[in-house]
Amino acid sequence: MIRAVAGRCGACGHFNNAGATLESAFPGMTTMGSGFASARASDGICTLHDVYLSDRAGCDRFEARAVRQG
Amino acid sequence: MSARQSSVIDTGRLGWTELWRKEDWWAVWLGLAAALVAYALFANGSSIGWLAVAPAKWTTFSQLLDHFAANAARYIAQFAILLGLFSIAASLIGYPVRHFVPGFVLIYVLSVVVFAAGARDKAIYYNLEPPLIALAGGLVISNLIGLPRWLDAGFRVEFYIKTGIVLLGATLPFTLVVWAGPVAILQASIVSIVTFLVIFFTGRYLGLDRRLAATLGAGGAVCGVSAAIAIAGAVRAKKEYPPIAITLVVLWAIVMILALPLVSRALHLPAGVGGAWIGTSEFADAAGFAAAQTYGGFAATGAIAGTPDQAVWSYTLIKVVGRDVWIGVWALILSIIAVTRWDVAETGGGTDIGQIWWRFPKFVVGFLLASVLITFAVRNTSFADYNTVVRPGLVLPITTLRTWAFTFSFLSIGLTTRWRDFAPAGAKPFLAFTAGVVVNVGLGFVLSVLVFGNYWATLAK
């Protein structure tokens, strides 16, 4: 059973999937991997749950990311 | 819902931006461009060989100095072009360019040293193959001497190796891919599935969380760190799981860079067979190429039967064609299992079949296109003309450029491996992963040597 969610991680303020951020968060990643590779798609870290997951996942504690103006 | 602080988000998988924001695609562009330029020059009676300069065999130090003096302009041009192209790519991918440039300068200078050391006539007597010199030198510098951490921006192991793989495609006959591809996929699939299951169920037996067991299993069975990261995301692993897998993959991959070529040599395995074993049992692409190129180097000296190309080609077919391309399928299957069967306490949302393509290692597209392009371009060449005209004018210069890219990568492995920075893996993950290593190496030997040995020994003959 797949649970419905309030919003997708990719649009959530708790979610960060920048390549450089992942390379900092995962020690040794650049030795034989990369935060900028196709294989990781757009996965990132949820700082709320401390989980590494797809940007298409989501949860009930979704908080929309602010859009920078100007 | 409240609006939170804006954070950096990568939506590169959506739309065309991936074409210039992922290093896989930049490896395709750079590799294909080099192959096209090389062919265009060759077709017009010239050659890219002037730019593809590297130290020749030398006996005395003065010979080496004479070589550099005579070819200074070629080295300067090569360095400037490589620096320019890689810097442009780096800026668009998102590496910090002001740090990438000095990092690349250091990598290039060290690569010249590695090339020169490997070209010394006595190097073969001491097994001083360039990949091993690069790896050992990098490890010594990073762990005993130390470098500013910001220089890591130029030590892009994956970017360099992927670019080299596309260039390798330009020297690999596509007919060989068609002929050997099915066997490579069969052999690799058997070992990948068995290795994954061994690591996963050993981990479960030892009490590891399913997601950690799956992350470790993918790291050992598919394509090392890249697979571990991909599967961690697919199964929604805890943030601390990927670093555990990274530590174990890197540890065993470096052990295998040394062990597999030396054991293969001790067993007198032909070049193609040793390369196939390395392709089946190494964990990461760059580490495997270091081992396969080392083993090919043994063939060049006559220490084993076969040719250097056979070692690298059989490795490539099994690792790249047989294992890497399936990462998206592994991710899809495991994500479905994770979402539908495992306990999802905190997160929801479904899974998507599109990840088979999103996660596909796109450099493989460049590798295959380069192979098709050059194979088609020289299709009407006689065997004699191939050896006397095409090989020196087109194939060998591209091979030299590939060797530069690989050397950048091998050095970067050593320079980024700071053991004190790695996450502690813990006894249970270590045991689970090591169980997979034992099975992986043993089964890889059986398939590469006993079952398909004759096949790989005669590759490209």
Instruction: Identify the pLDDT of residue B122.
Output: 80
Bridge partners, B306 (sequence order): none
Nearest-Cα distance to chain B for A58, in Å, is 5
Instruction: Identify the pLDDT of residue A4.
Output: 59
Residues A25, B167: Cα–Cα separation, whole Å:
32
Which ranges of B44-156 does DSSP label H, i.e. alpha helix? 61-70, 72-93, 97-119, 130-140
Which ranges of B120-223 does DSSP label H, i.e. alpha helix? 130-140, 157-169, 174-205, 210-218
pLDDT of residue A69 exceeding 50, the answer is: no
CB B127 within 8 A of CB B175: no
Query: Hey, is the C-beta of B152 within 8 angstroms of any chain A C-beta?
Result: yes
**Residue in chain A lying closest to B425 (CA):** A27
Taking CB atoms and an 8 Å limit, are B287 and A32 in contact across chains?
yes
pTM for this predicted structure? 0.93
Taking CB atoms and an 8 Å limit, are B350 and A15 in contact across chains?
no
Task: Tally Cβ neighbours within 10 Å of residue B349.
Answer: 22
Instruction: Identify the pLDDT of residue B7.
Output: 38
Give the pairing of strands A15-16 and A44-46: antiparallel
Bridge partners, B189 (sequence order): none
Instruction: Identify the pLDDT of residue B344.
Output: 58
**Residue in chain B lying closest to A43 (CA):** B233
Nearest-Cα distance to chain B for A50, in Å, is 5
Residues A66, A11: Cα–Cα separation, whole Å:
9
- Please give the C-alpha separations between residue B204 and each of B199, B251, B351, in angstroms, as whole numbers: 8, 22, 24
Q: Which of residues 3-62 of A touch B (CB under 8 A)?
A: 3-10, 13-22, 25-34, 36-46, 49-60, 62
Average pLDDT over residues A22-34: 93
Instruction: Identify the pLDDT of residue B347.
Output: 65
Task: Tally Cβ neighbours within 10 Å of residue B341.
Answer: 9
Q: Which of A31, A60, A65, A69 to mutate to test the interface with B (most CBs of B within 10 A)?
A: A31
Taking CB atoms and an 8 Å limit, are A36 and B227 in contact across chains?
no
Instruction: Tell me which H or E stretch contains B33.
Output: helix B23-43
Maximal CA-CA distance, chain A:
43
Nearest to B133 by CA among B120, B144, B146: B120
Residue B130 DSSP code: H
Give the pairing of strands A7-8 and A58-59: antiparallel
Q: What are the pLDDT tens digits along chain B (461 aa)?
A: 333 333 344 444 556 888 998 999 999 999 999 999 999 999 999 999 999 999 999 999 999 999 999 999 999 999 999 999 999 999 999 988 999 999 999 999 999 999 999 998 887 777 678 999 999 999 999 999 989 999 999 999 999 999 999 999 999 999 999 999 999 999 999 999 999 999 999 999 999 999 999 999 999 999 899 999 999 999 999 999 999 999 999 999 999 999 999 999 999 999 999 999 999 999 999 999 999 999 999 998 888 999 999 999 999 999 999 999 999 999 999 998 988 888 655 566 667 888 888 889 999 999 999 999 999 998 888 888 888 999 999 999 999 999 999 999 999 999 999 988 898 899 999 999 999 999 999 999 999 999 999 999 998 77
Instruction: Tell me which H or E stretch contains B369.
Output: helix B363-377
Q: Which of residues 233-272 of B touch A (CB under 8 A)?
A: 233-234, 236-243, 246-247, 249-250, 253
Taking CB atoms and an 8 Å limit, are B349 and A57 in contact across chains?
yes
Residues B349, B331: Cα–Cα separation, whole Å:
16
Q: How many contacts does A have with B, using Cβ atoms within 8 A?
A: 243
Instruction: Identify the pLDDT of residue B348.
Output: 64
Specify the higher pLDDT residue, B410 or A67.
B410
Q: Which of B347, B352, B420 to mutate to test the interface with A (most CBs of A within 10 A)?
A: B347
Q: Give the amino acid at B164.
A: G
Please report the DSSP string for B282-297 in residue order: --SHHHHHHHHHHHHH
**Residue in chain B lying closest to A11 (CA):** B9
| Sheet with A44-46, edge to edge strand ranges | A15-16, A44-46, A51-53, B237-238
Q: Which of residues 318-377 of B touch A (CB under 8 A)?
A: 327, 335, 339-340, 344, 346-352, 355, 358-363
